Structure 1
Amino acid sequence: MYRLLIIDDEPIIVNGLHEYFRKSELADVEIVLAYSAAEAISQLDSAKIDVVLSDICMPEMSGMELLGQIEKRWPRCKVILLTGHDEFEYAHQALRSSCVVDYILKTEGMGKIGSAVKHAFALVKDELSVYRQKEWLQKEFPKVMNQLQRQLLLDLLRRTDREAYLGLQDEFDALKLPFRAGRPVLPILLSVEEWGKYETTFERNLMLFSVGNIAEELLGSRTVTKFVPYDHSTLLGLVQSPEQTFVTEEKQSERTANFTFGTLESVQQVCRDLFHIPLSAATSNRVLPFEDTSQEIRRLRLAVLNGQARGLERLLVVKPATEQAGESTDHFRRQSAQYALEQLKQRLLGGTGSDWTHYFDKLTGLFPPSGPEDPFDRMVILQNLSEHCLVCLEELGLKNKAISQTDLPRILQFNSQVSWGEAVVLYQSLFEWMQCTRNDHLKREESHLIGRIYYYIHNNLDSDLSLTRIAREVSLNPSYLSRWYKQVTGQGLSDYIQEVKIEKGKELLASTSYRIHEISEKLGFTDPHYFFRFFKKVVGCTPQDYRNRKV
């Protein structure tokens, strides 16, 4: 939503310009009127103004003084100055202001003024355009690049749905990560075993950053490499061989694995010699697709935590899952379940209708009808379901209502022995109730909001009924209010206000002895002539003719 502020101490000029621009149907523009400099300041203080069309000479304040007030409040605002005289020196001074985009003689006509206003809005939109924002992002992006890259790589470890990897290359390109999503990678964990003299969190974070840079520099001579902090003492690394040359993919991967393993020895040595910290490394013995890195990192992590790679400067190659015994597939299903639950919670709290059912079906489809085979995994899944359900109820303010209207208290009795089918049915019913209850609440809120809008309009016909003022009354963004009202009612808000004013005008003309100018004031028209023209255009006769017919 954009705003045009028209300022002149002559009402006939303000109203004439208002009518002209209203007919020209400026897209997504609210027109605000001010009949004095004091009113203009009030309007500038009450809402964001994008373009000002102002008389240059007014009794209370000069055009230059007004320019100073505009620049203080809205430095991006574009100003077009109007004057009835060709005052070259004044114009030259005004055009020095960064806000002023044009200086027009009133005698040049509406066409010239209209073109200037459209040009001013074009400048405003250009400054806010995607292109300008991209320029700004390109300038600011490097400052947060490392943090965004870390977030993406750690997020990959949480993705268990293969569909979530479809746009991975676009994500890599956006964050300037040199990986190719379609080619395999070799995951690595580097873990600091003892911190020695580095005692503070700042010092340890700095050391992790330094170790990551060393690893990237040494491995980067032959591979594409990126290391990011995984936790307070561990770095996660991904290594990818360069584009395939004249050797097979298998041979290239083998060379990459051998080079990486040998180079990790150098990384350990540099950390020992420079920083005096022992570093252990765990890596897979083969490359694998990005979709499988989450499971592989877990195996590397277990190797570090369980002692296989603990101690001073151990260098471990961890076998893939197919070569290890006792690897439970339920754990990976549990990871997928946690991801599905996170997505389900976001849908419920985001109010996106029945989208949550897609992720609930994904969750239940991960396990056989009897549920997870491992009773501990079953207990963890049930606890996660309970947690996400209660969090949603708390954040939506529905917990007490759910206790009295649903079987929510039954989840307190759930344990690893509960029937999986019984638990699924209960949680599905709770999520359905949650969504239905929220939908009903939103419908009531919508109806209540429409009522507040109508009440304010009917009781303030003689006051400010601008979109900005009404939006403030109901605590909505003006642009959103305009779109939402038309979507809900099928009618523009300004059209409804005009209808109400016409009907009220008819009522006052037919049932009271108020004079025409008094009725005009009661309907919020500052100029009786404007009311006269407005009424005749809509009703088809003048206000006096309408009164005579009714009498």
Structure 2
Amino acid sequence: MYRMLIVDDEPIIVNGLNEYFTKKALQDVEIVLAYSALEAISQLDSLKIDVVLSDICMPEMDGMELLDNIEARWPRCKVILLTGHDEFDYAHKALRSSYIVDYILKTEGMEKIGVAVNRALAMVKDELSVYHQKEWLQIELPKVMPQLQCQLLLDLLRRTDIELSRGLQSEFEALKLPFKADKAVMIILFSVESWGKYETAQERNLMLFAIGNAAEELLGAKTNVKFVAYDHSSLIGFVQSPDPLFENAQKLAEKTAKFTHGMLETVQQVCRDLFETPLSAAASMLMHPFTEVKREVQNLRLAILNGQAKGVERLSIVSSQEHNPKESSDQYSRLTGQYLLGQIKQSLLDESSKEWPQHFEKFRGLFPPDGPSDPFDRMIILHYFAETCLTCLEELGLKDQAVSQTDLPRILEFNNSVPWEQTLAFYQVIFEWMQHRRREYLSREESHLIGRIAYFIQNHLDSDLSLSRIAREVSLNPSYLSRWYKQTTGKGISDYIQEVKIEKSKELLQKTCYKVHEISEKLGFTDPHYFFRFFKKATGCTPQEFRNRTSAAKE
């Protein structure tokens, strides 16, 4: 949303310009009016203004003083100066100023003013665009790029298979990661076995960064590789074969795997000799698609935690088949289940999201009809279920209502002896109740908000009814309010204001003896001629003609 302030001490000019630009229907532009320089200062103090269309000669303050006030408040604001006669000093300053877009004689006509306003708005938009920030991006983005890359790679461990198949390559390219989403990848897990002299968290984080850099330097000679910190003492590495030129892709992958496995010993030696840090390593035997990265990381973690790679400088090449397939599958299901419960929570708390039933069905399909076979895995899942449910109720302010209106107290009884289908059915009902109450609340809030807007407009027809003023009244962003109101009611706020003013003017013309100019003032029109044109455009007759017709009809 952009704002243009029109300033002139002659109401006929302000209203004429307002009418002209209203007809032009400038996209995402709110027009604010000021009938004096002091009123303009008040608007500049209360609203962010992007473009000012101002008269130069006004009683309280000349154009140059107003320009100083504009620049002091909104340095990026663009100014178009209007004058009734040619003044060389003003024109000269306008030509030298960086924020004055044009200097126009009022006699040059509306079209030239319109062209200048379009140019000023284009300049504002360009300065706010990403393209204008190119120099900043070139300087600052490389500083945060490694962190963004790490965040993306760690996020891969939390995504579902469907999410991994959507747009992953474009994400790699955007963050300049050297990977191909459709190619297999090898996973490496490094674990620091003893920190020795590195005592503080800052020192250890710095050392993890150094280890990752060293590994990337050594492995990067023949692979595409990136290491990220996984937790306080371990790193995860992603390794891919380079693009094949004249080699068979399968043979290249095998050569890459052998090279990678062989270089792990060198990485350990560097860490021991340079950093005095003993490092254990576990790596996948083969390469796997990105959809299996999460499972492979868990396999390597199990290898580390179960002792296969535990100890000082142990080195293990782990096959996916080395672990009990059932245990690995159960753990994968449990971890994926925890992730899906997190998605359910996010969806329930997001007023615009309706995806929790899909996540719930995915969760249901993770386990057999009787639920997780391992009782300990089952207890962990039950814990996460309860935590998700109670956290959502707490954050939505629905816990007390849920206690009285649902079977929520039964949550205290759930354990491994309760049939799995009963557990799922219970939580599904609670989640559906939450969503229903959420929708009821939002519907009431929408009705209440529309009512507040209508009440404010109907009771302030003679004062400021700009979008910004109404937005302040209901504590919403003006741009959001404009979009929301039109989406909810099917009409814009300005259309509603016009409807209310027309109905009120008809009422006053029919039931009172107020003169037309008095009715004009009561409806917030500073210029009776503008009200005259406004009424005739809406009804097809003048205010006096309407009054005469209704009077004749009564007789």
What TM-score do the two structures reach when normalised by structure 1? 0.96
Distance 2:422 2:428 in 1: 10
Unaligned 5+ residue runs, structure 2? Answer: none
Residue 229 of structure 1: aligned partner: 229
Asked whether the equivalents of residues 41 and 69 of structure 2 are also in contact (C-alpha less than 8 Å), the reply is: yes
Residue 153 of structure 1: aligned partner: 153
Q: Which amino acid aligns with 1:121?
A: L
Percent identity over paired residues: 69
Residue 453 of structure 1: aligned partner: 453
Moved more, 348-357 or 198-207: 348-357
Asked whether the equivalents of residues 321 and 327 of structure 1 are also in contact (C-alpha less than 8 Å), the reply is: no
Moved more, 460-469 or 378-387: 378-387
Residue 241 of structure 2: aligned partner: 241
SS in 2 for 1:157: helix
Deviations 1:494-521 (A, max 9, x none): 1211121122122222322333322221
Q: Which amino acid aligns with 1:397?
A: G
Q: Which runs of structure 2 are paired with 1:310-329 in the superposition (5 Å)? A: 310-321=310-321, 324=324, 327-329=327-329
Asked whether the equivalents of residues 164 and 291 of structure 2 are also in contact (C-alpha less than 8 Å), the reply is: no
Residue 396 of structure 2: aligned partner: 396
Residue 524 of structure 1: aligned partner: 524
Deviations 1:190-233 (A, max 9, x none): 12221122111111111111111111111111111111111111
Asked whether the equivalents of residues 51 and 121 of structure 1 are also in contact (C-alpha less than 8 Å), the reply is: yes
Q: Which amino acid aligns with 1:290?
A: F
Residue 116 of structure 1: aligned partner: 116
Residue 348 of structure 2: aligned partner: 348
Q: Which amino acid aligns with 1:535?
A: F
- The verdict on how the C-alpha distance between 1:514 and 1:166 changes in structure 2, with shifts beyond 3 A counting, is closer
Q: Which amino acid aligns with 2:118?
A: K
Asked whether the equivalents of residues 2 and 50 of structure 1 are also in contact (C-alpha less than 8 Å), the reply is: yes
Residue 59 of structure 1: aligned partner: 59
Distance 1:346 1:477 in 2: 24
Distance 2:242 2:503 in 1: 75
Q: Which amino acid aligns with 1:34?
A: A
Deviation at 1:322, TM superposition (A): 5.8
Distance 2:365 2:270 in 1: 49
What TM-score do the two structures reach when normalised by structure 2? 0.95
Asked whether the equivalents of residues 150 and 228 of structure 2 are also in contact (C-alpha less than 8 Å), the reply is: yes
SS in 1 for 2:327: coil
Residue 86 of structure 2: aligned partner: 86
Residue 275 of structure 1: aligned partner: 275
Asked whether the equivalents of residues 299 and 328 of structure 2 are also in contact (C-alpha less than 8 Å), the reply is: no
Deviation at 1:476, TM superposition (A): 1.6
Q: Which runs of structure 2 are paired with 1:473-484 in the superposition (5 Å)? A: 473-484=473-484
Q: Which runs of structure 2 are paired with 1:168-247 in the superposition (5 Å)? A: 168-247=168-247
Deviation at 1:353, TM superposition (A): 5.2
- The verdict on how the C-alpha distance between 1:228 and 1:328 changes in structure 2, with shifts beyond 3 A counting, is closer
Residue 383 of structure 1: aligned partner: 383
Asked whether the equivalents of residues 188 and 281 of structure 1 are also in contact (C-alpha less than 8 Å), the reply is: yes
Residue 496 of structure 1: aligned partner: 496
Asked whether the equivalents of residues 5 and 31 of structure 2 are also in contact (C-alpha less than 8 Å), the reply is: yes
Moved more, 119-128 or 25-34: 119-128
2:72 is the counterpart of 1:72: yes
SS in 1 for 2:235: strand
SS in 2 for 1:95: helix
Q: Which amino acid aligns with 1:264?
A: L
Distance 1:360 1:323 in 2: 29
Deviations 1:257-278 (A, max 9, x none): 2212222222222222222221
Q: Which amino acid aligns with 2:473?
A: E
Q: Which amino acid aligns with 2:529?
A: H
Deviation at 1:58, TM superposition (A): 1.5
Deviations 1:276-325 (A, max 9, x none): 22122111222221211211111211222222222222222222236656
Deviations 1:359-410 (A, max 9, x none): 1111101112211111222222222111111111111111111111111111
Q: Which runs of structure 2 are paired with 1:8-157 in the superposition (5 Å)? A: 8-132=8-132, 136-157=136-157
Distance 2:189 2:254 in 1: 19
Moved more, 206-215 or 314-323: 314-323
2:475 is the counterpart of 1:439: no
Distance 2:277 2:54 in 1: 70
Distance 1:516 1:163 in 2: 64
- The verdict on how the C-alpha distance between 1:348 and 1:162 changes in structure 2, with shifts beyond 3 A counting, is same
Distance 2:473 2:137 in 1: 35
Deviation at 1:90, TM superposition (A): 1.7
Once superposed, which parts of structure 1, at least 4 consecutive aligned residues long, lie more than 6 Å away?
A: none
Deviations 1:44-65 (A, max 9, x none): 1222212111011222222122
Distance 1:222 1:545 in 2: 88
SS in 2 for 1:352: coil
SS in 1 for 2:228: strand
Deviations 1:409-450 (A, max 9, x none): 111100011101111111111111111111111111111111
Asked whether the equivalents of residues 104 and 113 of structure 2 are also in contact (C-alpha less than 8 Å), the reply is: yes
- The verdict on how the C-alpha distance between 1:346 and 1:132 changes in structure 2, with shifts beyond 3 A counting, is farther
Asked whether the equivalents of residues 189 and 283 of structure 2 are also in contact (C-alpha less than 8 Å), the reply is: yes
Asked whether the equivalents of residues 12 and 527 of structure 1 are also in contact (C-alpha less than 8 Å), the reply is: yes
- The verdict on how the C-alpha distance between 1:452 and 1:325 changes in structure 2, with shifts beyond 3 A counting, is closer
Distance 1:324 1:408 in 2: 38
**Cα RMSD after superposing both structures:** 1.8
SS in 1 for 2:354: helix
Asked whether the equivalents of residues 64 and 94 of structure 1 are also in contact (C-alpha less than 8 Å), the reply is: no
Q: Which amino acid aligns with 1:512?
A: T
SS in 1 for 2:32: strand
Distance 2:328 2:282 in 1: 21
Unaligned 5+ residue runs, structure 1? Answer: none
Residue 542 of structure 1: aligned partner: 542
Asked whether the equivalents of residues 160 and 335 of structure 1 are also in contact (C-alpha less than 8 Å), the reply is: no
Distance 2:204 2:545 in 1: 86
Q: Which amino acid aligns with 2:61?
A: M
Residue 427 of structure 2: aligned partner: 427
SS in 1 for 2:52: strand
Deviation at 1:134, TM superposition (A): 6.3
Q: Which amino acid aligns with 2:452?
A: R
Distance 1:538 1:159 in 2: 56
Distance 2:317 2:99 in 1: 65
2:4 is the counterpart of 1:4: yes
Distance 2:417 2:199 in 1: 46
SS in 2 for 1:237: strand
Deviation at 1:167, TM superposition (A): 1.9
- The verdict on how the C-alpha distance between 1:325 and 1:336 changes in structure 2, with shifts beyond 3 A counting, is closer
Asked whether the equivalents of residues 179 and 240 of structure 2 are also in contact (C-alpha less than 8 Å), the reply is: yes
Asked whether the equivalents of residues 353 and 435 of structure 1 are also in contact (C-alpha less than 8 Å), the reply is: no
Q: Which amino acid aligns with 1:228?
A: V
